[in-house]
């Protein structure tokens, strides 16, 4: 049975240690040393928001509004909600009168697919399901049978999507996942909601990280080997080790939608960008792209910083 997708965290928020912060997953909030922290989950990932330099109780209304918005967006994007919009689309192959958020994110996903030459493709879901079923029977078994893999691959392809404000439809046999972009989208929506409420000095970590303008939040990436800071910026990391499918770990959730296989060019890819949705989708795409594609894709996103960690641990920034 398919288990909820999680991403092993290669990003460490170093500011958290000094403030006594922790992830409880309970949806709780607490204040320590002038920092108010909410901990919970979003789309199956650990989540938290850190409000710096505020008195106890000041952030309560903001946290409540953010929790409501996260819950609303999960009812649209969650593959594990039987009545979410994405679940209904995958079941029926078409959804009429999609919500504005679902339409917007599907269009964004299609745009990222075009910009990355198909390295990012939300229609990869049939491949994921096929690989989960294959290795679920025997994690130590051989690679999937090429003929059957080719059959599944023919159901994948973002160009078969039809997206309008009135209707979204899939190609025959197709299904979609927004796991490589929805967490970034939700992170941006929550950051925007807080900024509209005149909040600054807040770190939003909903599977992807975004720091509101204000204080600099020190962070480390690539196994804590690279130090940087975030203010008015976002960060996302993709690593195959987050969700291994087989015992060897060379088959995992980072699947090249164009070939139907997991890619292992890099140990991890981290992207820092203005918006979390860009960092999320771009880190996913670059993690499966061939090394020769990296520069061409990255240059389409000026202002984004890309950290590539090779399998031997070496870091290259582009």
C-alpha to C-alpha distance for 116 and 108, rounded to whole angstroms: 12
CB 271 within 8 A of CB 235: yes
Tally Cβ neighbours within 10 Å of residue 302: 7
What per-residue string of b and e applies to 68-96 under the rule 16 or more CB within 10 Å gives b?
Answer: eebeebbebbbbeeeebbbbbbbeeeebe
The residue among 189, 163, 55, 191 whose CA lies nearest residue 106 is: 163
Residue of 45, 35, 56 whose CA lies nearest to 8: 45
3-class secondary-structure state, position 133: helix
Interhelix angle 276-288/100-115, nearest 10 degrees: 40
pTM: 0.89
The alpha-helical segments, DSSP class H, found in the chain are: 14-18, 60-77, 85-92, 100-115, 125-137, 146-153, 182-196, 276-288, 294-298
Q: What is the pLDDT along the chain (318 residues), one digit of tens a residue?
A: 333 433 333 333 333 323 322 222 334 555 556 789 999 988 888 899 999 988 778 899 999 999 999 999 999 999 999 999 999 999 999 999 999 999 999 999 999 999 999 999 999 999 999 999 999 988 998 999 999 999 999 999 999 999 999 999 999 999 999 999 999 999 999 999 999 999 999 999 998 999 999 999 998 886 667 788 999 999 999 999 989 999 999 999 999 999 999 999 999 999 999 999 999 999 999 999 999 999 999 999 999 999 999 999 889 998
């Amino acid at each position: 049975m398919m288990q909820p997708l999680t991403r092993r965290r290669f990003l460490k928020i170093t500011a958290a240690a000094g403030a006594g912060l922790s992830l409880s997953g309970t949806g709780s909030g607490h204040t320590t040393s002038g920092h108010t922290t909410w901990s919970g989950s979003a789309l199956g990932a650990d989540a938290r928001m850190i409000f710096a330099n505020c008195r106890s109780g000041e952030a309560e209304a903001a946290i409540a509004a953010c929790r409501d918005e996260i819950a609303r967006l999960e009812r649209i994007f969650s593959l594990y909600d039987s009545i979410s919009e994405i679940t209904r689309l995958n079941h029926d192959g078409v959804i009429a009168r999609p919500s504005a958020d679902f339409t917007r994110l599907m269009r964004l996903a299609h745009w990222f697919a075009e910009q990355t030459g198909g390295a990012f493709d939300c229609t990869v879901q049939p491949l994921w399901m096929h690989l989960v079923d294959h290795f679920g029977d025997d994690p130590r078994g051989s690679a999937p049978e090429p003929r059957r893999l080719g059959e599944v691959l023919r159901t994948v392809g973002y160009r078969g999507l039809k997206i309008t404000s009135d209707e979204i439809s899939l190609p025959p046999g197709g299904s979609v996942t927004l796991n490589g972009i929805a967490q970034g989208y939700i992170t941006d929506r929550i950051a925007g909601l807080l900024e509209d409420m005149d909040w600054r000095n807040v770190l939003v970590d909903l599977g992807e990280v975004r720091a509101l303008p204000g204080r600099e939040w020190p962070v480390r990436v690539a196994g804590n080997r690279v130090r940087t800071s975030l203010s008015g910026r976002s960060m996302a990391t993709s690593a195959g080790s987050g969700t291994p499918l087989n015992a060897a770990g060379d088959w995992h959730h980072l699947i090249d939608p164009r070939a139907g296989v997991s890619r292992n060019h890099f140990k991890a890819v981290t992207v820092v960008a203005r918006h979390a949705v860009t960092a999320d989708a771009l880190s996913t795409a670059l993690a499966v792209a061939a090394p020769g594609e990296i520069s061409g894709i990255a240059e389409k996103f000026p202002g984004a910083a890309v950290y590539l960690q090779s399998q031997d641990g070496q870091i290259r920034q582009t």
